[in-house]
Structure 1
Amino acid sequence: MTSQMAREIADQPAALSRTLERLLLLRPDIARLAKGRRWLMFIARGSSDNAAVCARYLAEIHGGWNCALAAPSVATLYAESAPKRDLSDTLAIAVSQSGSTQEIVQALEWAADQGAATIGVTNVADSDLARIADLALITDAGKELAVPATKTFTTQVAALTVLVDALSPTPGALDADFRRIPEQAEAMLATDTNVLDQMVEVLKGTDEVLTSGRGITFGTTLEAALKLEETCLRPVRGLSYADLKHGPMAIVDAELATLLLAGPSGPTLPGLMELATSVRASGAPVLGIGGDEAFRAACDLALPGPDLPEVLAPTVLPIPAQLLVERLARALDLDPDQPRGLKKVTQTD
C-alpha cells in the first residue's frame, strides 16, 4: 500500500507550481518591506531551520545580504534577562510549516518589539504566524498529513528563494529557471528505482550513517540527516565536509555509510569529489545525490540531481533523498507516516 508520505512526495511538482505562482507576485511587497534594512534574520526550528540554512547561504551568495540564524531561546527563555537591542536595520523572517509553534511566533513578536520588519513563511494562512507578520508568504503545499515534512519543506525553500530573489541586486534574473522548477521536480520523481533499491540495501545494513555537503546545498544535507533520523530511526550526523575534515573523519570506516548531496555545479563540487574518493578508500560505501557526472562516478551509487542553476537546486534536490528515506523506512518495517514519538506540530519553550 502506498504511504501518505509517498503521496505527498509525489505532490511536490504541483505544490511548487502553486507556491511559485502565488509568491512571485509578492516580490515588490518584499522589497518595500526590506527597504533601508541591512540584515536578514531567520527564525526557525527542525525542517524549517534547514530551509532557513538554505536561504541564508542563498541570501549571502546571491543576494549580498548580511544574515543571521536566530537562537529562538534568546527571545523566549532569556527574554527578561537579555539586554534590549536595536533591530531597526533588520528584516526578521520566521519559518514554520504550521505557523503555530509558539516559540517561533513569540520570537517573531520579540523581533518586532525590537524594531524589526517581519515576514512569516507558513503553509497555514490563518495561523498565528501569518497573523502577526507584517507580510505573510503562504506556501501552497496543501494539507500535509504525514509527520515527516516533504512538500512543506520544498515549498518553504521555494518561498525563501523567491524572497531572496526579490532582495537581490537583479530581481527577476532567475525567472526563466523559476518556471522550470516544477518540471525538474517531476524529473526527480522519476529517479531510478533500481539505484534507490540498492541504496536502501546499503543503508539497511548499517546503523552508522553520515550525510555531508557544503555551501548552498548544505541545508539539504541537514534535512536528509533529519529525515533519516526521524523516519528510519538511524542516528545520523549531517556535517559540512569542511567540518568533517576537522576531526570527525576519524570515525569513517567500512561500517559507516556516507550520503553526499551536491548541487549540479559550483565551487563545492571538487571538495565533495575529493571527499568521496577519501571515504571510499577507507572501505566505506559512498552514496551520492546530485552533482555532475564526475561526482557521481566518484561514488559507489549515485542519483542525478536537477538540471537547474546551483542557487535553485535546493528547491528540488531533497526529493531523491525523500524517496530514499520513505523506501528505507518500509524496508525496516517502520511506518514512514507516523515516526515513533513524533507529532506533526512540535511545541518548544
Structure 2
Amino acid sequence: MLVLVLFKVTSLFLQFIIFTGDVTFSQVVNEVMRQLEGAYALIFKSPHYPNELIACKRGSTLILGVNELSGQKSGKSFNDVKALTANGKPKELFFSSDLCAIVEHTKNYLAIEDNEIVHIKDGSVSILKFDHDKEKPASVQRALSVLEMEVEQIKKGNYDHFMQKEIHEQPHSLTTTMRGRLKDGAVLLGGLKEHLKTIRRSRRVVFIGCGTSYNAALAARTFVEELTGIPVTMEVASDLLDRQGPIYREDTAVFVSQSGETADTLLALDYALENGALCVGITNTVGSTLSRRTHCGIHINAGCEIGVASTKAYTSQIVVMAMMALAIGSDQISTQARREAIISGLFSLPSNASQVLKLDSEMKELASSLIDSESLLVFGRGYNYATALEGALKVKEVALMHSEGMFAGEMKHGPLALVDENLPIIVIATRDACFSKQQSVIQQLLSRKGRLIIMCSKGDASAVNPGGSCRVIEVPKVADCLQPVINIIPLQLLAYHLTVLRGFDVDQPRNLAKSVTTQ
C-alpha cells in the first residue's frame, strides 16, 4: 500500500513538471497537495530542482529539528533559517515523525502544522501555508520550541530491551508524574485549573482513546464517577467516528493518547470540537497535536517511551486520571475521607511498584511454563477488568500469543466452555469490593479442572487457593482504585519474558508501530 501511494504521488509530481513546463518546485508541490486526500507527511527531493527540498503534511506528524541554536532564545519567530544564525555557523535541519528521533541531534524543534509547507532552498528555510482556495501559499511566522528530554532517555542503559527498561523505570516515572502536583493533601493541576468549574457542571465525562490508552481510561472510569458524581462513558475513538455518536456541548470529552498523535483520536477530537464539547487532553508528549488542539489538559510526564508496547505510560495515565478525579471532586465534603486515603495511596505507589518489580524472576519462570501454550485467558472485574484487558493486550502484541482479557462476571455466558486442564487462565483477585465474587470464580474454574494462575494481595494466598493447587502471584495491597497500577506490572513482566523466550522482537513487534498515525 505504501509503495502504491508513493507511486501515485510521484506520478502526480512528474505530470505537473511535464505538462506545466516552467514551474517552481513549490508550485509543483502545491498542485500535488491539491490533488491528495487523507493523511500524509511527505518530503520531496528532485533532480529537476537541485539544492531544494520541500516537506509538507496533513493529518500525520512531521517535526523539523534545528541544530546549533545555543546562541538563540527558544520561541523566536522565523520564516528563514538565517534569522537563527546570529553566530554565522551552519545549521543542521532534521525531519522526523517522532521527537525521540531528534533528541540526539538537537532540542530545538518546530511541530509542522497541517497544510504547512517547509521549503529549504540554498540554505534558507521558508514556511508556507497551503490553502485550497488560493493559488499561492502564504508565508507564515512560526516559533521554535525546546524539547524537554535527555539523550539518556532514548538509550537502553544496562537493559537488553527498551520495554524491559521502561517496565523497571515505573517507580521513577510514577514519581515524576506526581511531582509538584500533590501538596498539603490537595491536588494541583495547572492545566485544568481554569476549567474545573466547567467540568463540574458537565452533563457527563466521555473518555476517548485507543488500545492501551483506552484501557487506562477504563481503569479510571469507576473512581472518576465515584469522586465526581458525574456519569462517565467510554468510547473507542474509531467506533465513535464510525457511529457519529452523540457528543453534546455540555459534555467534557477527555482524550487519552501517549504520543498525542494517534490518528483516530485526533479525528475524534475534531468531531468533539465541532460539537462544542470541552476537550481535555492527556498525553505524554509536550507539543503534540493533541496537546495543542485541546482546550486544556495534563501531561503525564512519564518520560520518553521507545518500546512499541506501552508500559510506564499506562500506569502514569491511570495516576493522572486519579489526580484529575481528585481535583474535580475536591469541592465535595462527602468524599473527603476517601480522597485523603487515595492521596495517601498515591504517595506510596512508587515504593510499591519497586516491591512488585522483585517478581521479575518469578514471572520469567512462569513465562517458561507458558512458552508452548497457544492461548491465555485473563479474568478481571471491577477496577481490574481494565487490568485483564491490558495484560492480555501486552501478551498479544509482543509475545504474539492469542490472549483475551475477559470480564469475570460474564464467565458463564460463553467463556466457561473453553476451560480445561490445558488452557492457562490468570484470575486477578486482589482485595476490593469484588474479592468474594472472584473467589467464587476461582472455585468454579477449579471445579472444571482449570489451569489457574491467581494474582492476589499479599497474605491472601490461602484465601484464594485453599487447596494449594494453583500458582499464586502475590502483590502489595494499595488503595483499591490504585491497585490496577500495581497489578499490571507482573503481567507486563510476563509478556516481556514470554516474548524473549519465544524469540520475537520485544521492542518492534510484528506489524505494529509506536504511534498509529493512519486510520
Measure, in 2, the Cα distance between the counterparts of 1:147 and 1:249.
32
Determine what percentage of the aligned residue pairs are the same residue.
28
Q: Which residue of 1 aligns with 2:357?
A: 189
Q: Does 1:205 align with 2:364?
A: no
1:1-349 to structure 2, matched below 5 A, reads 2-23=160-181, 24-26=187-189, 29=193, 31-73=196-238, 76-77=241-242, 79=244, 87-168=248-329, 169=332, 170=335, 172-173=339-340, 174-191=342-359, 193=361, 195-263=362-430, 265-291=431-457, 292-297=460-465, 300-349=470-519
User: How far did residue 246 of structure 1 move?
Assistant: 1.1
Measure, in 1, the Cα distance between the counterparts of 2:240 and 2:446.
44
> Contact 2:203/2:250 (CA < 8 Å) preserved in 1?
yes
User: How far did residue 135 of structure 1 move?
Assistant: 1.2
Measure, in 1, the Cα distance between the counterparts of 2:387 and 2:239.
26
State the structure with more CA Rg: 2
Give secondary structure in 1 for the equivalent of 2:310.
coil
> Contact 2:262/2:517 (CA < 8 Å) preserved in 1?
yes
User: How far did residue 280 of structure 1 move?
Assistant: 2.5
Measure, in 1, the Cα distance between the counterparts of 2:414 and 2:241.
34
RMSD (Å) for aligned C-alpha atoms: 2.1
Measure, in 2, the Cα distance between the counterparts of 1:75 and 1:275.
33
Deviations 1:135-164 (A, max 9, x none): 121011111111110011111111111111
Total equivalences in the alignment = 343
Aligned letter for 1:203? L
Aligned letter for 1:184? N
Give secondary structure in 1 for the equivalent of 2:206.
strand
User: How far did residue 32 of structure 1 move?
Assistant: 3.0
Structure 1 stretch displaced more, 167-176 or 238-247: 167-176
Aligned letter for 2:408? Y
Measure, in 2, the Cα distance between the counterparts of 1:295 and 1:105.
46
Give secondary structure in 1 for the equivalent of 2:404.
strand
Structure 1 stretch displaced more, 37-46 or 16-25: 16-25
> Contact 2:252/2:278 (CA < 8 Å) preserved in 1?
yes
Please list every run of 5 or more consecutive structure 1 residues that lacks an aligned counterpart in the other structure: none
Give secondary structure in 1 for the equivalent of 2:207.
strand
State TM-score, norm by structure 2: 0.63
Deviations 1:300-336 (A, max 9, x none): 1122223211011122221111111111111111221
Give secondary structure in 2 for the equivalent of 1:255.
coil
Q: Which has the higher contact order (CA 8 A, sep 6+)?
A: 1
Measure, in 1, the Cα distance between the counterparts of 2:240 and 2:376.
34
Aligned letter for 2:203? R
Measure, in 1, the Cα distance between the counterparts of 2:360 and 2:243.
49
Deviations 1:10-53 (A, max 9, x none): 11111111111255420761633413113010000000010011
Aligned letter for 2:400? L
Distance change >3 Å, CA 22–CA 136, structure 1 → 2: farther
Give secondary structure in 2 for the equivalent of 1:95.
strand
Please list every run of 5 or more consecutive structure 2 residues that lacks an aligned counterpart in the other structure: 1-158, 182-186
Measure, in 2, the Cα distance between the counterparts of 1:22 and 1:254.
50
> Contact 1:296/1:303 (CA < 8 Å) preserved in 2?
no
Measure, in 1, the Cα distance between the counterparts of 2:260 and 2:208.
12
Q: Name whichever structure is richer in strand by fraction.
A: 2
Measure, in 2, the Cα distance between the counterparts of 1:187 and 1:275.
27
Aligned letter for 1:34? I
